[in-house]
């Protein structure tokens, strides 16, 4: 059997501590608001409805979520689609999406939430610019 190797404990503790510094950075400066306004009450209610109806199962935000429905990051912010386009789908449903029976205020709040997301950044992978060393400059 090997002899005791205290450096293994030291390495574990060093990584453990650095995890907290790393996380603290992400919680603060790494995700600071960049020109985006804080979420209003309506936006937060829309976000709550989004969660309570598990919209994530089928839809994505920034490409994260389910794939049965489209990505919603810039649906409302997109001038070719916009809030009325989103309203139609939310109120009527489709053959792939049930009508959840939201009332008018709830539909407004869901649209406010999607609008708020769209104001925070763009998700259009096709417009990313690839650098020679393999990273991407995204259009924000």
Partner 1 sequence: MEQSNMNVNNRSGVCFVILGLMSLGGCVLMGVLGAFKYLYPDTLSGFEFYQLRPIHVSLAVAWIFLAAIGGIYHYLPKYRGLSLAWPKSIPLHFWVFVITGIAILTAYILGKFGGREYWAYPPALSTPIFATWIMFGINILLTMKKEKGPWPVYYWMWMTGIIFFLITFTEAHLYLIPFFNENIIRETTIQWKSYGALVGSWNMLVYGTAMFVMEYISGDKKMAHSNEAFLLYILSFVALMVGWSHHVYAVPSASWIRMLGYAVSMAELIILADIIWKWRQSLTPDQKFTHRQSYRFIFAADIWVFLNLILAILISIPAFNLFSHGTHITVAHAMGTTIGINTMILMGSVFLIVEELKGAEFSGWSKKWASTGYWLSNISLVLFLGALMVAGSMEAFKEWDDFYERSEAIVPMLLIFSVSGIGLLGGLWMVVVAALNMLKPAKHQNETVTVTAE
Q: Which positions lie near partner 1, rule CB under 8 A?
A: 1-5, 8, 11-12, 15, 18-19, 22-23, 26-27, 29-34, 36, 38-39, 44, 47, 51-58, 60-71, 95-96, 98, 116-117, 120-121, 123, 125, 128, 130-131, 134-136, 138, 140
Shortest reach from residue 97's CB to partner 1, in Å: 8
User: Could you give the 3-state DSSP secondary structure of residue 5?
Assistant: coil
Shortest reach from residue 105's CB to partner 1, in Å: 19
Backbone angles phi, psi at 4, to 5 degrees: -55, 140
- Measured from the CB atom, the residue of 41 and 84 that comes closer to partner 1 is 41
Distance CA 113, CA 43 (A): 4
- Measured from the CB atom, the residue of 26 and 84 that comes closer to partner 1 is 26
Buried-exposed string 53-72: b where 16+ CB fall within 10 A, e elsewhere? eebeeebbbeeebeeebebb
Distance CA 120, CA 138 (A): 13
- Measured from the CB atom, the residue of 34 and 103 that comes closer to partner 1 is 34
Q: Using the structure block, give the residue that is written with the tokens 């449903």.
A: 93
- Measured from the CB atom, the residue of 91 and 139 that comes closer to partner 1 is 139
């Amino acid at each position: 059997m090997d002899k005791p190797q205290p450096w293994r404990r030291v390495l574990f503790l060093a990584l453990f501590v650095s995890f907290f510094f790393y996380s603290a950075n992400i919680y603060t400066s790494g995700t600071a608001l960049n020109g985006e306004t804080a979420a209003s009450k309506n936006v937060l209610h829309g976000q709550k409805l989004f969660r309570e109806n598990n919209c994530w199962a089928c839809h994505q935000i920034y490409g994260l979520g389910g794939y049965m429905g489209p990505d919603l990051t810039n649906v409302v912010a997109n001038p070719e689609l916009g809030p009325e386009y989103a309203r139609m789908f939310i109120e009527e449903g489709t053959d792939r999406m049930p009508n959840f029976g939201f009332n008018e205020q709830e539909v407004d709040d869901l649209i406010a939430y999607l609008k708020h997301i769209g104001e925070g950044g763009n998700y259009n992978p096709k417009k990313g610019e690839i650098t020679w060393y393999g990273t991407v400059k995204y259009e924000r």
